[in-house]
Amino acid sequence: MFIFQICTFAHSHIHKAFAHLHIRTFAHSLPMTYELQHTDGSARAGLITTDHGQIHTPIFMPVGTLGSVKGVHLREIKDDINAEIILGNTYHLYLRPGLDILERAGGLHKFNGFDRPMLTDSGGFQVFSLSGIRKLSEEGCEFRSHIDGSKHFFSPERVMDIERTIGADIMMAFDECPPGTADYAYARKSLDLTHGWMKRCWKRFHETEPKYGYKQALFPIVQGCVYKDLRQESAKFMSDFGAEGYAIGGLAVGEPAEKMYEMIEVVNDILPTDRPRYLMGVGTPVNILEGIERGVDMFDCVMPTRNGRNACLFTAEGIINMRNAKWADCFEPVDPMAHCFADVQYTKAYLHHLFKAKELLAMQIASIHNLSFYLWLVREARKQILANNFGSWKREMVVKLSRKL
């Protein structure tokens, strides 16, 4: 067993390594630890420990953009789906309910009642999605709210302060997410911007303290679009910060899947092996298994709930469209593998009926099922890694997961 514990460098060591960044350093207690428990090829099984609990990796993180996972009660998230960590989003939570409400509540954990680890995205991807109503500069990003058109400004420092107020266990650095089809010149300029913002995020993070009595970690985000040299440069640049973990951003945004897998390999060849790696916004069950095979530890995506609300179920045998007439008289359980109570409580015929009738319960059942399946998938992957059987199991699963039933 290989055990690595995240540790801070001595003040003099960091000062020497980052003298050119003019970064103030601190001897803080550790925000989180990571234990690499086993490897099977490049696939990894590990354990992240935060002040709100432990996270067994590889892990999938349900997306709770506005402080809630759409259509799913907190009790279901904890007791049925058994999510070990969920996401919130800085951009959306900043706009509503707003920082005053969140701070008065005691942070997002107190506001929504989730007492396990949480991670907040910095809002960089959401700002990227607002390309028609934003202006980028070295100072930061000016944008208009998608809600009422009001004008706002995010600087790296402002985003760090917002994430401190939200209070997630893991904070993400502010970055720019270029489209997957960006040309080299744009990707180069975007990467320079992201690197400059990262220096400022790091400085602000270490100038401030958590607000609610528990520690927070900051993950840098590796960018570089689909260009190998830019990805390598960014991975090396971000690794030098000695952060508690690292994210790989700017993938699954329009580039071919093969390019995404190539960039994951390029980046993970450089990122430290004793820190968790988080592939942002990915993806399908097949994408997740391919990421795990290439050394990724953490995943998030809206696909389980978004596709579920549109009658798409993911199963270990393939993909089901519950609106298809073939399910109208199928009285088998939703999923005989019984990843959650909904899988055996209801039949395919009943769920088909609910979708055809446009009942809200249909979207809830499908969302709970899909999230439970995603969590089963990463936990089963972990079991296979610990048993040194991940490669052969993954090859079989990819074939089945890709089928349409």
**Which residues are annotated as catalytic?**
121, 300
Helix (H) or strand (E) holding 153: strand 151-154
Tokens coding 370: 């899909």
Residues contacting 191, CB < 8 A, separation 6+: 223, 224, 225, 230, 233, 234
Q: Could you tell me the CA-to-CA distances from 88 to 7, 260, 300 in Å, in that order?
A: 26, 24, 11
Residues 224, 192: Cα–Cα separation, whole Å: 9
Q: What is the DSSP string of 306-359?
A: HHHHTTEEEETTEEEETTSGGGTT--SBS-TT-SSHHHHHSBHHHHHHHHHTT-
Residues 399, 58: Cα–Cα separation, whole Å: 21
Write the burial class of residue 344 (CB in 10 Å: 0-12 exposed, 13-18 middle, 19+ buried): middle
| Strand spans (E) along 217-295 | 217-219, 221-222, 246-248, 277-279
Tokens coding 303: 């696909």
φ/ψ of residue 128, rounded to 5: -60, -40
7: left (phi over 0), alpha (psi -120 to 50) or beta: beta
207: left (phi over 0), alpha (psi -120 to 50) or beta: alpha
Instruction: Specify the amino acid at residue 137.
Output: S
Place of tokens 């180069």: 188
Helix (H) or strand (E) holding 47: strand 43-50
**Do residues 338 and 312 touch, judged by C-beta distance below 8 A?**
no
Tokens coding 302: 């809206």
Residues 79, 360: Cα–Cα separation, whole Å: 21
Helix (H) or strand (E) holding 136: strand 134-136
Residues contacting 110, CB < 8 A, separation 6+: 212
